[in-house]
């Protein structure tokens, strides 16, 4: 009987431990997703980078850099009417690009809510001729097409509220000093209780399931306020993921803006990167990164354990620009054929390899004083250099090697030399079922590389099966 009871105890413990092990974590989908769409859309989209007939200072942050009063800036809302807004088309554009989630600005630094906000009438429903809540239709379209959805919310910068002081790059450096010049009179907690809490509650109760709350610029929020904010969110939607910009260690993942981690990151992280130079729609910003470069950036980020949140700024009429659509389609066409080593993958023990003759690339950015002053809205520290390299991931026991930007018809991947003691069983191409010519020698794995057409992204994905699980 004692043995029987001991057996039941052990068996019950195993069942209990297995049930815990199989319980999905709320971060699982996010870790598997790898690729999302960031969208900056607001009153600044209406001016498209101009003010008073000239190019504005500060792009989508021009209210501060041009020292415009709240009343004058708010008048932009009188003309904001996104008559061509088609949320389902937005979602399908993201989905066809291979993206798994969308994050959009519910309220940017200007303090203007792009949603129905009963607690504050400075919003799109109350102030614009459009008179509707675009977020409602966008969330519904995401739910319809199985696209995860999140709200961006500017936390520590709000140029509509009288109690928001800032301390970057110096005291009052990102504050509305035109309408509210005395920084010492401002009490963040007044703004926090009056505007932040009610609006976050609105975002989490008016639209059904929300997967991510993406905070920006926490500035002067206190540890206790960050804690309260996290509790507020999770009490309403316990599954909701929160980024690190809630501040004070209360986020679920780290954010890197306009840069890519140099090395493998163990903790969850995300790089938010622009397609062009700006976050919001700027009419003259017409030089976007190439589809090849952005795909390389995605692979580099995934190989280092991160996600890419790729930004585009819709127009005031509610359109994703033709250039953005073209780039996203090219990326999506490539991902459709090469996704096995991306979604659900993990970093391998080697993240990348520079191919023969290529030295480590270093991206140095020398900024002028004016550029430093605008660093938070017009600064991109990602490398724009394209060179031959390989990016590695692993998924379900296989290793994936993405050979990037090679002009020759063959490569040698030194990571897989016989000296590595990695015994290769098979090599297949991801984009078709053609037989791969390969040979493993003491100098590396020799692979034939297909010729790419002019419209192709010149990155070839290979699935490498080995005789042992090397994850």
- pLDDT tens series, the chain, 471 aa: 444 344 334 334 433 334 333 457 999 999 999 999 999 999 999 999 999 999 999 999 999 999 999 999 999 999 999 999 999 999 999 999 999 999 999 999 999 999 999 999 999 999 999 999 999 999 999 999 999 999 999 999 999 999 999 999 999 999 999 999 999 999 999 999 999 999 999 999 999 999 999 999 999 999 999 999 999 999 999 999 999 999 999 999 999 999 999 999 999 999 999 999 999 999 999 999 999 999 999 999 999 999 999 999 999 999 999 999 999 999 999 999 999 999 999 999 999 999 976 655 544 455 555 555 555 666 799 999 999 999 999 999 999 999 999 999 999 999 999 999 999 999 999 999 777 989 999 999 999 998 888 889 999 999 999 996 555
**How far is CA 16 from each of CA 2, 19, 21, 24, rounded to the nearest angstrom?**
21, 5, 9, 14
For residues 320 and 86, what is the distance between their CA atoms, to the nearest angstrom? 10
Q: What is the pLDDT of residue 374?
A: 54
pLDDT given for residue 453 in this prediction: 84
pLDDT, residue 17, reads 39
* 8 Å CB contact between 327 and 333: no
| Three-class DSSP category at 272 | strand
Does residue 395 contact residue 346 with C-beta atoms inside 8 Å? Answer: yes
Please report the DSSP string for 36-53 in residue order. Answer: EEEE--SHHHHHTTEETT
**Sign of the four-CA dihedral 28, 29, 30, 34:** positive
CA dihedral in degrees (175, 312, 308, 383; nearest 10)?
-80
Residue 62, Cα to own-chain centre: how many angstroms?
23
pTM comes to 0.92
Domains and CATH numbers, the chain: 26-339 (3.20.20.80), 349-359+384-466 (2.60.40.1180)
What is the model's pLDDT at position 7?
37
Residue ranges in 80-145 assigned as alpha helix (H): 87-96, 124-127, 134-144
Dist. CA 248–CA 227, nearest whole Å: 8
What is the H or E stretch that residue 354 is in?
A: strand 346-354
- Count Cβ atoms below 10 Å from residue 100 Cβ, excluding itself: 19
The set of residues, in sequence order, having a beta carbon less than 8 Å from that of 184 and lying 6+ positions away, is none
């Amino acid at each position: 009987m004692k043995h029987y009871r001991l057996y039941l105890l052990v068996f019950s413990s195993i069942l209990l431990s297995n049930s815990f092990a199989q319980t999905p974590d709320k971060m699982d989908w996010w870790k598997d997703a790898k690729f999302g769409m960031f969208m900056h859309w607001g009153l600044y989209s209406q001016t498209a980078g101009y003010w008073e007939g000239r190019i504005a200072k500060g792009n989508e942050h021009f209210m501060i850099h041009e020292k415009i009063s709240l009343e004058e800036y708010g008048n932009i809302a009188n003309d904001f009417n996104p008559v061509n807004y088609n949320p389902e088309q937005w979602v399908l554009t993201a989905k066809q690009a291979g993206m798994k989630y969308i994050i959009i600005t519910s309220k940017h630094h200007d303090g203007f809510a792009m949603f129905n906000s009963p607690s504050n009438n400075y919003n799109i429903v109350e102030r614009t001729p459009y008179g509707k809540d675009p977020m409602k239709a966008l969330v519904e379209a995401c739910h319809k097409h199985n696209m995860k959805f999140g709200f961006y919310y500017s936390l520590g910068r709000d140029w509509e509220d009288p109690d928001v002081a800032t301390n970057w790059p110096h005291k009052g450096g990102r504050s509305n000093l035109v309408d509210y010049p005395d920084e010492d009179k401002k009490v963040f907690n007044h703004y926090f209780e009056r505007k932040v809490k009610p609006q976050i509650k609105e975002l989490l109760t008016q639209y059904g399931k929300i997967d991510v709350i993406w905070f920006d610029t926490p500035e002067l929020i206190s540890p206790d306020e960050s804690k309260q904010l996290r509790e507020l969110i999770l009490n309403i939607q316990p599954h909701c993921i929160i980024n690190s910009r809630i501040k004070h260690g209360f986020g679920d993942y780290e954010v890197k803006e306009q840069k890519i981690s140099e090395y493998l990151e163990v903790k969850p992280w995300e790089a938010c990167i622009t397609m062009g130079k700006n976050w919001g729609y700027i009419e003259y910003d017409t030089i976007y990164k190439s589809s090849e470069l952005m795909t390389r950036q995605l692979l580099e980020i995934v190989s280092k354990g991160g996600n890419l949140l790729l930004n585009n700024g819709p127009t005031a009429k509610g359109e994703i620009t033709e250039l953005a659509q073209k780039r996203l389609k090219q990326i999506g066409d490539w991902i459709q054929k090469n996704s096995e080593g991306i979604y659900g993958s993990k970093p391998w023990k080697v993240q990348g390899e520079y191919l023969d003759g290529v030295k480590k690339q270093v991206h140095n950015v020398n900024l002028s004083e004016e550029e430093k002053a605008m660093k938070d809205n017009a600064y991109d520290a990602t490398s724009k250099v394209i060179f031959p390299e390989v990016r590695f991931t692993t998924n379900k026991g296989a290793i994936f090697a993405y050979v990037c930007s090679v002009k020759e018809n063959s490569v040698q991947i030194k990571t897989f030399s016989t000296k590595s003691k990695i015994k290769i069983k098979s090599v297949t191409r991801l984009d078709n079922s053609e037989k791969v010519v390969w040979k493993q020698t003491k100098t590396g794995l020799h692979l034939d590389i297909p010729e790419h057409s002019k419209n192709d992204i010149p990155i070839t994905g290979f699935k490498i099966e080995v005789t042992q699980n090397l994850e």
